[in-house]
Amino acid sequence: MLASTALNLGSFGAGAVNNFPAHNSHRLSSPLHGFQSLPLSAPPHAVLKQSSLGGKSRPCVKTAVAAVDSSDPAEKDKQESERKKYYFVIANAKFMLDEEEHFQEQLFERLRYFGERDFEQDFWLVIEPKFLDKFPNITKKLKRPAVALVSTNGPWITFMKLRLDRVLQDSFEADSLEEALASNPAKLEFEKPANWTAPYPKYNFGWWEPFLPPGSQAQKV
């Protein structure tokens, strides 16, 4: 009898299941019955979970979120103790303060720009900077006294290197602004040219003082 039943079921053919009446379709048992397939765009980590309502399914995705406690005192201390980076170009004082035609205008224009936008000044002139002790390869190429343009803005210093051309460029780290801008005593003396033929007036001695670090003064002779 079992053989006969199998023969009768086989006589329906491959497409016979689709011809069952709708009211009998619930009698067909299938491992996938009651589940919906995920779309092709579904993430690979989505997991199908059988819903208790209507036999429908929905993706259940677990997302791990790392919580960071920004109030951690140790983390704040670490950030505050990080050394700050400073960038500079440097040359001898005669070139930087007395010969370069457009250097004065560029610094005063930038100072005006910062003032109009209420920006905090981030560039200074340092005469005979102490940080030169860290750069023996630079010091041996410099005539003294030397003057450095120092800033926390690296791209701007690179621009000034291209603009001034005959200067040396590098960077260093310091624990404080005072350490970064520390200088050694220096005397500046520039000879006045016998004949001044340029269409603009000669720089006045001391024009650079507004750009010196607070409390720093170069001795005049």
Q: Give 87's contacts (C-beta < 8 A, 6+ positions apart).
A: 150, 151, 152, 153, 154, 157, 158, 169, 170, 171
Ranges of residues in the chain with a pLDDT under 70 are: 1-81, 216-221
pLDDT at position 201, please?
74
- Residue extents of the structural domains in the chain: 86-175+210-216
pLDDT at position 130, please?
96
pLDDT at position 2, please?
44
pLDDT at position 32, please?
44
Task: Specify the fold of 86-175+210-216.
Answer: Alpha-Beta Plaits (3.30.70)
pLDDT at position 51, please?
42
Q: Give 42's contacts (C-beta < 8 A, 6+ positions apart).
A: 59
pLDDT at position 12, please?
44
Cβ contacts of 15-21, under 8 Å, gap ≥ 24: none
Rounded to whole angstroms, the Cα distance separating 103 from 105 reads 6
Rounded to whole angstroms, the Cα distance separating 85 from 176 reads 10
Return the CA Rg of the chain: 39
